[in-house]
Chains A and B, each alone.
Chain A
Amino acid sequence: MQEWYLIAILFLATVVGTKLLREIPSLLHTPLMSGMNALSGITVLGTVVVLGQAVSRGDKLLAALAAVLAAINVVGGFAVTRRMLRMFAEKGDDDV
């Protein structure tokens, strides 16, 4: 049961995502990719879960290491995307 609802969510997210992603012009493909990169750091939630469950010291440290990696991924991704998008916005003369 639990499996099917997760598979359905995966299916929905990919279908809607793909539809939206196709609309993005190649002008913005690099910021798109770095933004997606940041989102792939969503696994930081997984590190929270496994850290909460970890019993041994080794497991806790391993989970913390994963949290560091995921946080680099999230923050680095969003920061660099912001930087690039500002370059485009500066030239977009009117708005923003």
Chain B
Amino acid sequence: MSTTIDLNGFLAALDRIQTEGLAAFASVTDASQLEAARVKYLGAKSGEFKDVEKQLGSIDKSDKRTAGMRLNEVKQALKQALDAATNNLGTAVSTHQGPLVDLTTPGTSFEIGHIHPITQTIEHLKEIMGRMGFAAAEGPEVEDPWHNFVALNISDDHPARDPLDNFYLATAAVAGGKGEWTGHLLRSQTSTVQIRVMESRRPPVRIISLGRVYRPDAADATHYPMFHQMEGLYVDTNVTMSNLKTVLRVFANNYLGEDVNIRFRPSFFPFTEPSVEVDFWWNDQWMEFGGAGMVDPAVLSAVGYDPEQVTGFAFGLGVERLCMRRHGITDIRDLYSGDIRFLYQF
């Protein structure tokens, strides 16, 4: 005849196991502690819970239901605590066999191509100017003297036409009797595109022209005989120099990402009157940005606009300079080297 066990003692033992067991599971910090706690409280052979469970048979029949329910509750509580502790430690207690994966070796790489920094700069400029309503335009790089000079108010005897300052094509008649250079040439500015757009469209015109231009400069760290320009043009019935200053200031704030001051200095370009150089105050110094001005009445007349009806402003800037400054590039020749050690940085 087996001895019966006192219900109160049984329940008290369960309470103690639950309290101690939950505390133990809650305090484990690594897999070995967790395993030790598991063995101690939930071990299948001699865990503390097992020991109490074995005593259930000795409980008085009338108390068995109460004892069984409590036994179940404690078992569930301990199991939940074990699960929670296991989750907290992550998957550390996996069943992995063999050497551990070295999680610190690099991921598998895959190659993505790089976009040229000049393209990135041009896209940035188009995006900023686009938000101010300027649509992009392009045109041919080989031009006739009308679009490169005459329509831009650059007279036959202007030094800007000098063969030393332009890439004339060899097929063209170079020097006329009185020093007129009449042949085709690689454009020296993207203003040629502005002329082509104005010739084909009535005002208002609000465009930026972009592309390669060519001027005979010996290549060094800051000069290259081929570079990119962005020129803006706005012609409408009431365009003033104040609009020009406003647009350039908005542009500068956008491009440089902060509120910058700008200033105009008088300058001279045949196709604008007045003509100015534009400076930005940036990094505690005045930085040259480019040239600008009000479209010369002679240019408006050349494309068939009436200077009494419309006015306009124009500005031009070198893309390379902005690109190099933004990315800290120090030698312009790198841009055109095709060297992937350079290209892969962008």
On whether the two chains bind one another, the answer is no
Q: Interface of B with A (CB < 8 Å)?
A: none
